[in-house]
Amino acid sequence: MSSIRCRQLCKTFKQGDEIITGLDHVDIDIEEGEFVCLSGPSGSGKTTLLNAIGGLDTPDSGEIHMGDIRIDRLERGPLADMRLHHIGFVFQSYNLIPVLSARENVEFVMQVQGVPAAQRSRKSLEILREVGLEGMENRRPAQLSGGQQQRVAVARAIVTHPDLVLADEPTANLDSVAASHLMDLFVELNQHHRITFVIATHDKRVMSYARRLIKMQDGKIISDEPQ
């Protein structure tokens, strides 16, 4: 899996009688190992673009290629496999599985991948230590603060070293120290493991970490500049 190529992506939503444009003929190329931030006001299409790239949502028209694979044409099963093996997601609102502990949440993707138990255990403990949650491995999400839950979600997204991490407002619920730690971690993973990051954010601090900043408005890319 390497670069991402989107061509003429269009997506509209119906809200009552109103048609809302999510993506309006978006063209974008993201190379392997890039650290990209998508910025723009609410409703500009950042999350819609992330969802489309991550195969969570299907565009009305246009093409999305991930390496040689055209993902907008994949069936549900292969699409799930692609997400499982190549993409890590960090959602704005943590999205942890409430019946699993922090460690089990982190191990979830590896377990579905079929990673042996010992390896799973070692990796999950390592990554939880890395995100500052040592000693909290066995806590359930309800026993963790918002920031801690977000760190578990990040740990889950990066523990398998996916080719691409898609993060939607990852720092929205974090204090500035936690946000800065998280971004440092992203940068480190990007630099050492060549993991591609695409982050949708309003947060100027986050944008300052990006090496490429794409601004969106009304479903269109209005600027795309290196930082």
Partner 1 sequence: MTRLFSQFKTILTLSWRNLWRNHRRTGIMLGAISVGVWAMIFMTALMRGMVDDMLNQGISNLPGHIQIQHPEFLDDPSVVNSIDEPRGDLLAALENNGVRVWANRIKVPAVIMSERESRGINLIGIEPVSEADISGVPARISKGRFLESNQDKGLVIGAKLAERLETRLGKRVVITSQDPDNNLAERGFRVIGIYRAELAAQEESNVYAARGTLQDLLKIEGRVSQIVLVDDDYRNVESLYRRVAAATPAGLEVKPWYEIDTYLAVMFNMMDGFVLIWVIIIFLALSFGLVNTLVMAIFERVREIGLIQALGMRPGLIVYQILLESLMLLLIGLIVGNMLALVTIKPLEDGLDVSVVAEGMAMMGAGSVIYPSLTLYDVVLANVVVILLGILTSILPAWRASRLDPVRALNTH
**Contact positions vs partner 1 (CB under 8 A):** 51, 54, 56-57, 76-77, 80-85, 87, 89, 91, 95, 97-100, 104, 108-109, 111-117, 156
Q: Give yes or no for a contact between 217 and 41, defined as CB atoms under 8 angstroms apart.
A: yes
Task: Quote the Cα angle for 58-64-70, to 5°.
Answer: 100
Structure tokens at 213: 């900043």
Residue 79 CA to residue 46 CA, distance in Å, equals 21
For residue 99, the 8-state DSSP code is: T
CB of 12 to partner 1, least distance (A): 14
Which residue, 31 or 60, is less far from partner 1 as judged by CB?
Answer: 60
Which residue, 131 or 210, is less far from partner 1 as judged by CB?
Answer: 131
Which residue, 57 or 224, is less far from partner 1 as judged by CB?
Answer: 57
CB of 180 to partner 1, least distance (A): 26
Q: Give yes or no for a contact between 82 and 69, defined as CB atoms under 8 angstroms apart.
A: yes
CB of 103 to partner 1, least distance (A): 12
CB of 225 to partner 1, least distance (A): 29
Which residue, 3 or 108, is less far from partner 1 as judged by CB?
Answer: 108
CB of 1 to partner 1, least distance (A): 13
Which residue, 88 or 147, is less far from partner 1 as judged by CB?
Answer: 88
The 10 Å Cβ neighbour count of residue 121 is 15
CB of 133 to partner 1, least distance (A): 19
Q: For helices 146-158 and 102-113, what crossing angle results, to 10°?
A: 20
Residue 139 CA to residue 160 CA, distance in Å, equals 21
Hey, CA dihedral for 214, 216, 220, 223, is it positive or negative? negative
For residue 178, the 8-state DSSP code is: H
Which residue, 161 or 212, is less far from partner 1 as judged by CB?
Answer: 161
